[in-house]
């Protein structure tokens, strides 16, 4: 007896089929369908289990290649940096350095820094709040309090922005309050910048004279030209 795929039947055909078979036959068919579904799901899980390690190995290989390339580039660029320092008799202590040629190619490399603070920063903030609590007596002082509170606002990671502390220092000088100045100094002394990552950025220049930055991460790099993304990733229209 041929197997009937109920999903391909029309509503009328399904009704006719149900009327033509006994309850026992329906139960047997349901068991077969359930067994088939279980086998398909088990096969899917096995396929995933076999495929994921292969994908991971591909990504590990890419990561290792990038790591070695990063090391080689930093090593080579450091030779240029040492030559530059010697030829121009200058010290090279910046966070980043750039090199370019006469063909419109350029490389910038170095490290990034994110704001960091030790625990004493909160003492400075609390001290400033003590000062401004007594300041909101008229419209002008109320505006100043609002400005100070904006400068003390922390980011999503709970840190102050170092650029705002410089503005606080300027306000403290203008306000000429010893307690205010001391509070800002506490905050400045609590500043402990953290080196976050070493980076390399590079670009070429196209025929229109526009810089075209080279994507150097798997997220930034584009698919090969002509790729139909919908063939390899399902995208539903919004």
Higher-confidence residue of 178 and 106: namely 106
Could you state, in order of their start, the residue ranges of all structural domains in the chain?
Answer: 6-50, 94-113+195-238, 121-189
User: Is pLDDT above 70 for 126?
Assistant: yes
Read off the pLDDT of each residue in 168-192 and give the average, rounded to a whole number: 87
Three-state secondary-structure class, residue 114: strand
**How far is the C-alpha of 160 from the C-alpha of 120, rounded, in Å?**
13
Write the CB contacts of 90 (distance below 8 Å, at least 6 apart in sequence). Answer: 84
Mean pLDDT of the chain: 84
Average pLDDT over residues 206-218: 93
Question: Which range has the worst mean pLDDT, 7-11, 58-62, 109-113, 233-237?
Answer: 7-11
Give the C-alpha separation, 135 to 98, whole Å: 48
- For 91-111, the three-class secondary structure string (H helix, E strand, C coil) is CCCCCEEEEECCCCCEEEEEE
Top-confidence residue, 3 or 157: 157
221, 202 Cβ separation under 8 angstroms = no
């Amino acid at each position: 007896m041929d197997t009937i795929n109920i999903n391909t039947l029309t509503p009328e055909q399904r009704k006719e089929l149900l009327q033509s078979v006994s309850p026992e036959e329906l139960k047997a068919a349901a068991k077969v369908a359930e067994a088939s579904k279980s086998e398909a799901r088990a096969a899917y899980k096995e396929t995933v289990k076999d495929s994921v390690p292969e994908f991971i190995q591909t990504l590990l290989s890419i990561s290792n290649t990038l790591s070695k390339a990063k090391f080689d580039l930093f090593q080579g660029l450091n030779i240029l940096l040492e030559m530059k320092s010697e030829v121009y008799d200058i010290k090279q202590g910046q966070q980043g350095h750039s090199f370019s040629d006469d063909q419109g190619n350029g490389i910038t490399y170095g490290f990034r820094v994110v704001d960091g603070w030790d625990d004493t920063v909160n003492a400075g903030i609390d001290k400033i709040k003590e000062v401004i609590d007594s300041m909101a007596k008229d419209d002008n002082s109320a505006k100043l309090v609002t400005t100070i509170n904006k400068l003390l606002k922390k980011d999503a990671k709970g840190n102050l922005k170092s650029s705002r502390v410089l503005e606080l220092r300027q306000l403290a000088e203008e306000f000429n309050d010893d307690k205010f100045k001391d509070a800002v100094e506490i905050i400045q002394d609590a500043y402990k910048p953290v080196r976050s990552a070493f980076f390399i950025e590079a670009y070429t220049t196209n025929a229109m004279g526009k810089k075209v930055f080279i994507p150097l991460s798997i997220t930034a790099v584009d698919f090969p030209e002509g790729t139909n993304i919908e063939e390899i990733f399902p995208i539903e229209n919004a």
